[in-house]
Amino acid sequence: MNPLYILAGVLAGGILLRMPIGFSMLAAGISYLIAKGQDLGLMAEQVGNGLYNSYVLLAVPLFVFAANIMNAGTVSERIFDFCRILVGRMRGGLAQVDILVSVVFSGMSGSAIADAAGPGLVTIKQMLRKPEYSRGFAAAVVVASATLGPVIPPSIPMVIYALVSGASVGALFLAGVVPGVMMALLMMLVVHVIAVRRNMPRDEPVPLREWPAILFRGALPLSMPIVLLGGIYSGAFTPTEAAAVAAVHALLLATVVYRALNLRSFWGVVLESTRASAVITMILAGSFILNYAFTAEGVPQAMAAWVGGMQLTPTTFLLLVNLLFLVLGCFLDVSVLLLVFVPMLLPAVKMLGIDLVHFGVLVVLNMMIGLIHPPFGMLLFVTKALTGIPIGEMMKEGWPFLVMLLLLLLALTLFPQIVLWLPQTMGYGLK
């Protein structure tokens, strides 16, 4: 039997048996090497070279650590109060606040899960105190707005995409700004339409005398995106060094400034960050050996030849890729799409002259859509675990946000300059 079929069968079997995806990928890689009669030491070589020769990869655990510190250090509550002053008086004010909080938090964490588990949980609790907000609507807003995390820089998925594609991390971060802002504005429009139709209340006004204290409380957390992006694009530090700056910045705020993190809670943050980073590392390790197998079997080259033989235009190819990812997202974890399928598509992307930065933003947005639709929508499961709100209720209220994201994905596919304008304006030479 073809060793590639054995690899695919073991991988599919592991996923169906609910085995952790990293273990499934490693098991599939080992099965491939055995079927080929190759030395199993090749796996250690591929994994070791992939993990330890990548400077960019160091940013991932550092961003995870920074996000967990902010969630444990009352930063979410401070950002919530700050955003409440700005948009709380709009219709459906608490839902609008959640979207704006997600925009701000996105500039600090780069993680959708961290967004939902931190500020998202704060806003759900606030909304459920008012009878006008249903459980499903509150959770749907949080799940949808959490997708902003990996689109607005910094972004953990963009760092990983840069690792597998060779695209510039700085250019990818800039490319996510305009689509991220568009996502936020469209979500706020969806909330406004729903709020007007349901006659949802405006939030109670914050007394003017409380504004200075609230603005001061929120000013320091809001400084993090400015420090990170300003440092990266001024050349003061690299994106990887920016992740270290983010971790130190968050740690100083939580321990020295706010004194909200004691030794015990800090140890909990370290354990949780280590656990999350280990999960990501295992998935990366599995992807390196799978990509070795696919390359050895000539799969990416065959994919490029097949696409060339079909004489597809770049736009048609991107539309088909979007459709493929949306279908696969119903059955596969998003990490599989990013680390296994993207490398197979990259030769075809380069052959058609598609910009790697544009393709990366489309990939990340596809992943975010995969996070919010069943049966493998990770954000749905995380929110259900944190709040107890059934996934069915979230989906009933969340379909307008899903439709909005699909329409935005179509617009970004058809009009690449929406994505590429800012990086090109800032002087990044894109290819």
User: C-alpha distances in angstroms, 189 versus 80, 95, 195, 404?
Assistant: 20, 11, 10, 10
- The pLDDT value recorded for residue 430 is 58
Torsion of CA 293, 299, 300, 304, to 10 degrees: 170
Q: What is the pLDDT of residue 190?
A: 94
Contact 170, 403 (CB under 8 A): no
Residue 263: per-residue pLDDT: 83
CA atoms within 13 A on the CB side of 299: 18
Amino acid at 386: L
Q: How many other CB atoms sit within 10 Å of the CB of residue 181?
A: 14
Residue that the structure tokens 């499934």 belong to: 24
SS3 letters for the chain?
Answer: CCHHHHHHHHHHHHHHCCCCHHHHHHHHHHHHHHHHCCCCHHHHHHHHHHHHCCCHHHHHHHHHHHHHHHHHCCHHHHHHHHHHHHHCCCECHHHHHHHHHHHHHHHHHCCHHHHHHHHHHHHHHHHHCCCCCCHHHHHHHHHHHHCCCCCCCCCHHHHHHHHHHCCCHHHHHHHCHHHHHHHHHHHHHHHHHHHHHHCCCECCCCCHHHHHHHHHHHHHHHHHHHHHHHHHHHCCCCHHHHHHHHHHHHHHHHHHHCCCCCHHHHHHHHHHHHHHHHHHHHHHHHHHHHHHHHHHCCHHHHHHHHHHHHCCCHHHHHHHHHHHHHHHCCCCCHHHHHHHHHHHHHHHHHHCCCCHHHHHHHHHHHHHHHHCCCCCCHHHHHHHHHHCCCHHHHHHHHHHHHHHHHHHHHHHHHCCHHHHHHHHHCCCCCC
| End-to-end Cα spacing for the chain | 40
Q: Which pLDDT value is given to residue 406? A: 94
Average pLDDT, consecutive stretches of 10 residues, N- to C-terminus, the chain (431 residues) = 85 83 87 85 77 76 82 73 80 86 78 76 82 88 90 87 88 93 94 88 75 76 77 79 84 81 85 85 84 83 82 91 85 77 90 94 91 80 83 89 94 95 81 52
Q: Which of 6, 33, 29 is nearest to 287 (CA)?
A: 29
Determine the Cα–Cα distance for residues 352 and 311; give it in Å rounded to an integer. 10
What was the pLDDT predicted at 429? 62
**The predicted structure's pLDDT at residue 73:** 63
Integer Cα distance of 19 and 24 in angstroms? 6
Residue 111 exposed, middle or buried by CB count within 10 Å (0-12, 13-18, 19+): buried
The tokens for 270 are 């370290």
Q: CA–CA separation, 66 vs 225, rounded Å?
A: 12
